[in-house]
Structure 1
Amino acid sequence: MTEIYPAFSISPVPQPSSDTPVPELFHGMYGMPAFVTVPTADLEASTRFWSEGLGFFDFFSAEGQFVHLRRWAFQDVLLVPGQPPAQTSTAAVSFACVENQLEEMAASCQRLLPGSASEPTVKPWNSAEVDVVTPENLSVTMTAARPFDPESQKAQNLKEIGIEKQ
């Protein structure tokens, strides 16, 4: 994998460290490279959950028609009126965050919708994550990269499959 190189300069996601600051919410305009469209039976309740629970804000909206939510750059969600699925989808969407946000995010989601969020969990791919099921039955993973120790067993495991941090 010789084509892999550091490209943090084009990403809103900060390099992880023990004291990584949380990036500002992004209020700029851009052509969205990707976004998630989420049907909801209650735009107001969904907006509240995504805002107070997951840290998004109402970037712009048209009352009763849609709400465009955003966190950092390239983290866009479009809430639209519609009938959400009766069961949680097996497909999921992930959004990057900073590790020190995870506990508060899980607690906020639990306060708004009991049973909606897991506790933060450290994953083998060197991230910590909180899994959330939104009021619209969407599976959302809030994922935070963890500091990388090039001398660790995780680094060795990655190297063995051809991934080396530059």
Structure 2
Amino acid sequence: MSAYISPVPLPDLDAVAPEPYSGFYGMPVYSSLPTRDLAASKDFWVRGLGFIDLFSIPGQVVHLRRWAFQDVLLVPGEQAAQTPAMSICFSCVPSQIEEIAARCEEFVPGCTSGPREMPWNSLELTVVTPENARVVMTAARPIDPDSAQAESLRAVGIEIPRS
């Protein structure tokens, strides 16, 4: 098996989330979301979704981040009139799903749906943000090494250690 280099912990129901990452790097990918109210949007993302304000330029941009490579830029502009078809997905750990849902519901009642167990072995919470972005917080679930799912993955060449 190759070296594991992701900031996302390996799937485990008791996985511990890394701290938000405040270092600087060349961002391989990020999302840019227009908003009519930078301060209100920043507050929702920080207090509801658990991002940090990496830096802000008043009236121009708010650079938010959770873990390494989970970057969002809030910029002034006209936000989507309705929830977009595309989702922005961010990894989290299973223990964070309910707390994120509760915090977001405090800000905007009815903005969350789920969590749901997905067929790709994750637990997912969908949040519609004040900018009308669909954010999916997704927590990988461990694979039972003795399950049919594990056997199916082995059959296509994915290494799943046996118990």
TM-score, length-scaled by structure 2 = 0.92
Structure 1 residue runs of 4 or more that deviate by more than 4 Å after TM superposition: none
Letter matched to residue 34 of structure 2: P
Counterpart in 1 of 2:22?
27
How much does 1:35 deviate?
0.3
Matches within 5 A, 1:12-91: 12-91=7-86
Note the alpha carbon deviations across 1:2-24, whole angstroms, 9 max, x for none: xxx5442x210011223211101
Counterpart in 2 of 1:165?
159
8 Å Cα contact 1:95-1:141 kept in structure 2: yes
In the alignment, structure 1 residue 96 sits paired with structure 2 residue 91 = yes
8 Å Cα contact 2:14-2:94 kept in structure 1: no
CA distance in 2, matches of 1:47, 1:7: 35
Matches within 5 A, 1:108-147: 108-147=103-142
Give the percent of matched residue pairs that are identical in Structure 1 and Structure 2. Answer: 54
Structure 1 vs Structure 2 CA RMSD: 1.4
CA distance in 1, matches of 2:117, 2:65: 25
Which piece of structure 1 moves more, 135-144 or 17-26?
Answer: 17-26
Note the alpha carbon deviations across 1:20-73, whole angstroms, 9 max, x for none: 111011011100000000000000110011111111010000111110000000
8 Å Cα contact 1:124-1:154 kept in structure 2: no
CA distance in 1, matches of 2:154, 2:144: 12
CA distance in 2, matches of 1:36, 1:7: 28
How much does 1:91 deviate?
0.7
Note the alpha carbon deviations across 1:106-156, whole angstroms, 9 max, x for none: 111111111111131111111111011111111110001111212112223
Label 1:132 to 1:7 Cα distance change in 2 as closer, same or farther (>3 A). farther
How much does 1:100 deviate?
0.4
**Equivalent pairs, count:** 160
8 Å Cα contact 2:89-2:135 kept in structure 1: yes
- Unmatched 5+ stretches in structure 2: none
TM-score, length-scaled by structure 1 = 0.91
Letter matched to residue 45 of structure 2: W
